[in-house]
Amino acid sequence: MKKLLFILLNLLFVFECSIIKTSFGRIEGNEVGNFRSFKKIPFAKSPLGKLRFQKPETPDKWDDVLNAKEYGPACMSNSSSTTSPQKWVDEDCLHVNIFTSQKCLMSKNCPVVFYIHGGEMYYDSAVMFNDTILFDTFAKRDIVLVIPAFRLGIFSHFSVYDQSIAPNNLGMFDILHALEFTKSEIHNFGGDIKQTTVFGHSYGGHIVSMLQFSTKINMDLSLFQRAVSMSTAFYFNTLEAEIEKTNRFAEHSNCSVPSALAKKLSRNQQDTYIMECLQKIDGMELLRIQRSLEDAGFPLYDGLIVREPLIQEVPIAQLFDNPKNIPSLTGCTFAELDVYMAYHDVVGTLGFENYEECDEKFRTEKKDKDFELKNRADETMAILVQTKRRVGKLLDKNITTYLYEYSYPKHATHTDDLSYLMGVHLFEKDENEVKLAQFYQEIFTNFVKYGEPGEGFERTNAENSSYFNINWNETSGERPEMKNEYESEVTLDN
């Protein structure tokens, strides 16, 4: 009888783990062994019609059990700049996908990772990852993983001067709304909001940095308490440039204000006219126009706008002066974007006042045959320099910081090491990379759980610019170890 009762209670728990209650209604997810996934959970109303180009709004409650077994669509994207096109896109995309374990659902106190995807707020998505590797990296170690979607391209970058018409940095508002949803609901999935790490790669790492360094966001540390940014490339655009791109988009959408009418309307009235016109056009048609503009040499992605209420309005060089006092793990791969060797405005991303002088010096030295970094791509240089600058700002405030560089030569470009954690851009691993994948999972999840990565990975310090060199060679016996003088050839002199 006792054995039968135990079996019945266990079956009841499994059922309750697959169907859970939230403040908005019940959700039924997938059961994979001791792991659970819950997908396509709305954290905001569908941004359609008059909600297009507006801040996200809290979703309505639902009465029936929400089917959360399958992924929803990716947010709207269609770019020639990416090798990871999305299979299904739709404007109704403001969902979170949550991965957890049976143990977390029982204990309700597991650490939380809030992962922000890259793609320059123009492509990639919250539905592009490999479930098996996500379970293996996070749920197996009793970490609750949250992957939110956010609007991209014109749906995020529509910009006007008066933010009462349409707010700037809409994608950031989506991310913050998803963080608030996580704060409110993650305990239902076994997570502890007081143990939350924001985690991002590439431009997702830039967003993490802005969340970390903004003096307007999370000042009470109630949304997150740790930060991880991998291979972080950041850049901003001016409001004026974004408005110009919006107006160009309106022109190609036949939504420009007729000249005769423009004489009678104020600036705000003209902006409202454009917005309301674009709100009436089918989203797929807007996406077609966006792709045609990109292919004609007029892409829409140029980064966030340095503007309140989310980002303090200071010169770019001062944006990172006041980080929050939370532990940080950051670094990059050795080769990053060297394979492309494309032009990138390295100096412009740093906000130097003497821009022309610095840029001329950089270009001249890169042509010099003796310049040690002449074979490094501009974008790689930008990532290295920006990483050094952010780490320096953190160390200036005595904030716990862990700095790494991935240097295994076979695969050391921009997304290679991310594949170990998230299962994107996969490749066949050799015996060393099998070990590196396991090692990566350990150090990153240790940081999420304990605030330190362990495995010999020590805090960096300003005196010798120490960092953790991640390499593995079964033949020579080489293993990850602490080294000094991180990218010493790269300087921040201006």
Percent of the chain residues past pLDDT 70, beyond the cut: 88
State the pLDDT at residue 13: 46
Q: How confident is the model at residue 490 (pLDDT cuts 50, 70, 90)?
A: confident
pLDDT at 378: 80
Classified as helix, coil or strand, 202 is: coil
Closest residue by Cα to residue 76 from 167, 206, 171, 159: 171
Which tens digit of pLDDT belongs to each residue from 307-349?
999 999 999 889 999 999 999 999 999 988 877 656 667 666 6
Specify the pLDDT at position 371. 56
Res 187 pLDDT > 80:
yes
What residues contact 396, with CB distance under 8 A and at least 6 apart?
Answer: 462
Hey, what are 366's tokens? 């890169």
* Banded pLDDT at 8 (limits 50, 70, 90): very low
Q: Are residues 220 and 353 in the same domain?
A: no
Let me know if residue 253 belongs to a domain.
Answer: no
Domain-located, residue 331 = yes
Q: What is the number of domains present in the chain?
A: 2
Of 48-52, 212-216, 354-358, 390-394, which range is least confident? 354-358
- Band the pLDDT of 24: cuts 50, 70, 90: very high
Strand partners for 145: 99, 113
Domain boundary among 191, 206, 237: 237
The side-by-side arrangement of strands in the sheet containing 35-42 is 30-32, 35-42, 95-101, 144-148, 110-116, 191-201, 226-230, 328-333, 401-406, 467-470, 481-483
Q: For position 15, what pLDDT does the model report?
A: 46
Mean pLDDT rounded to a whole number for the chain: 91
- The answer to whether residues 44 and 184 belong to one domain is yes
Lowest-confidence segment of 14-28, 162-176, 419-433 by average pLDDT: 14-28
C-alpha distance from residue 9 to each of 1, 5, 291 (Å): 12, 6, 54
Overall average pLDDT of the 226-233 stretch:
94
pLDDT-derived band at 369, boundaries 50, 70, 90:
low
- Residue 88 and residue 225 in one domain: yes
246: nearest Cα among 271, 263, 267: 271
Give the residue from 207, 237, 267 where a domain finishes.
237
Omega into 309 within 30° of 0, i.e. cis?
A: yes
Q: Which of 211, 237, 263 marks a domain boundary?
A: 237
Q: Which structural domain range is residue 472 located in?
A: 327-483
Is residue 248 situated within a structural domain?
A: no
Q: Clarify whether residues 80 and 203 are in a common domain.
A: yes
Co-location of 230 and 333 in the same domain:
no
Can you give the three-state secondary structure of 382-399, one letter per residue?
HHHHHHHHHHHHHHHCCC
Residue 318 lies in a domain: no
DSSP for 423-487 reads: --S-----HHHHHHHHHHHHHHHHHHHHSS-BTTBPPP-TTTT-EEEE---TTT----EEESSTT
Amino acid at 33: G
> Do 342 and 233 belong together in one domain?
no
pLDDT in tens, 151-164: 999 999 999 999 99
Give the residue-averaged pLDDT of 14-36.
87
49 and 180 part of one domain: yes
Residue-wise pLDDT for 298-318, tens only, equals 987 768 999 999 999 999 889
Say yes or no: 224 and 338 in one domain: no
Question: For a pLDDT cut of 90, what percent of the chain falls above it?
Answer: 79
Q: Is residue 297 part of a domain?
A: no
Q: Does residue 258 lie within any of the structural domains?
A: no
Query: Cα–Cα distance between 171 and 151 in angstroms, integer?
Result: 5
Q: Are residues 187 and 334 in the same domain?
A: no
pLDDT score recorded for residue 422: 97
Same domain, residue pair 193 and 331: no
Please determine, for residue 76, whether its predicted confidence score (pLDDT) is greater than 70: yes
Domain CATH code at residue 13: 3.40.50.1820
- pLDDT at site 341: 57
pLDDT given for residue 299 in this prediction: 82
What local confidence, expressed as pLDDT, does residue 12 receive? Answer: 46
Whether 471 and 350 share a structural domain: yes
Residues 87-114, mean pLDDT to the nearest whole number = 96
226-230 and 481-483: which strand pairing? unpaired
Is 108 part of a structural domain of the chain? yes
Asked if residue 222 belongs to a domain, the reply is yes
* Cα–Cα nearest to 38, from 182, 226, 224: 182
193 and 45, same domain (yes or no) = yes
Band of residue 87 on the pLDDT scale cut at 50, 70, 90: confident
pLDDT digits (tens, 9 = 90+) for 372-381: 556 677 888 8
